[in-house]
Amino acid sequence: MVTKEETHTVNIDEEEEDEDYDESDHCFTKCISYFLVSLISCILVVAYYITVVELCIFTVEPLALKLTFLVTFHLFYILCVWSFLRTILSRPVTPPAKFCLSESDKKLYLSEESQEKKQEILVHAAKDLPIYTRDRKGDVRYCEKCQVLKPDRCHHCPVCNVCILKLDHHCVFLSNCVGFSNYKFFLLSVGYGLLLSIMTSAMSFYCLKLFWTNRLPETDSKAPITYQAWISTVLSLIFFPFLYSHLVLASNNITAMSDGDEDDDDKHKAGKHSKMYDLGFSKNIRQVFGDKKIYWLFPIFSSLGDGFSFPRGDATDIEKNAATDN
């Protein structure tokens, strides 16, 4: 329910973002996304061939080491690909029907020209909904394109052209939005991507060392292994800061969208709002990964909540915060 005392104003101005985003931008972003997804898929296929065939089968000689490399590589490779596919294929969750205006309210809203009158309609429609955040002007957030009241932490993605619950960002590398339905999968795919890159880099440089010290004869496998060694190293350097930044956000219960909304002119207020969902490190992590730790390392949906109402770290939500401990 929205009340004057409980409402928090967040620094969001999505209407301005959408104005400059036309159909040509949408098509261009989609084309880039499809290309990047195809590129990542090709990298995964090539990495599998080089590691399994060129490195493990043709280059590594000791049977015990060969089996160790194969088992370890396949373990991380399967988890990485599984997480990657779950992130891409999980459709973003949109606000449920109760956040839509009734037919009578919608007709009344569309017939009104006064913004104040429109806000009165929205405030009345939102009074029984779990909406606590407002826009920069202090108004109830409403998406004109989707014709829906925006729940807390919900944003409109101009690429997908839909409002998405707990939107973190639209990822061009995945051709999908990262939000409530797949944020856990996204973190796992980046994490396993980092581990896979480190492992293949170490395995490749191990073999290259054998080549450089003449402990292995020169073969055609040296070139692809060299290629993989340097590519894996570069990918590791890319993945690490990316994963670190998102783990910091997750551990503070902040999305990249809300974190990006903080501006230099209002840091104190923005900092306050970015922390409004901070429940402490343990509870914040469980909001993403769930209560059952057995599922944490697997791309199986286990995030807590419904995506449109969230326990808050302030005194007004003590009961909700306590409930997450059970």
Amino acid 301 reads F
Place of tokens 């040509």: 24
Residues 123 and 178: beta-carbon distance below 8 Å: no
- Whether the Cβ atoms of residue 289 and residue 295 lie closer than 8 Å to each other: yes
Own/partner pairs, 134-138, CB within 8 angstroms, 24+ separation: 134/7, 134/8, 134/9, 134/10, 135/9, 135/10, 135/12, 135/13, 136/9, 136/10, 136/11, 136/12, 136/13, 138/7, 138/9
**Active site annotation includes 171:** yes
The one catalytic residue among 56, 80, 171, 207: 171
On whether the CB atoms of residues 75 and 195 are closer than 8 A, the answer is no
Can you list the positions of beta strands (E) in the chain? Answer: 8-9, 133-134, 142-143, 148-149, 155-157, 162-164, 169-171, 176-178
Q: What is the Cα Rg of the chain in Å?
A: 24
How many CB atoms lie under 10 A from the CB of residue 244? 12
Cβ neighbors of 78 (< 8 A, separation 6 or more) are none
d(CA 252, CA 39): 32
Would you name the residues annotated as active-site residues? 171
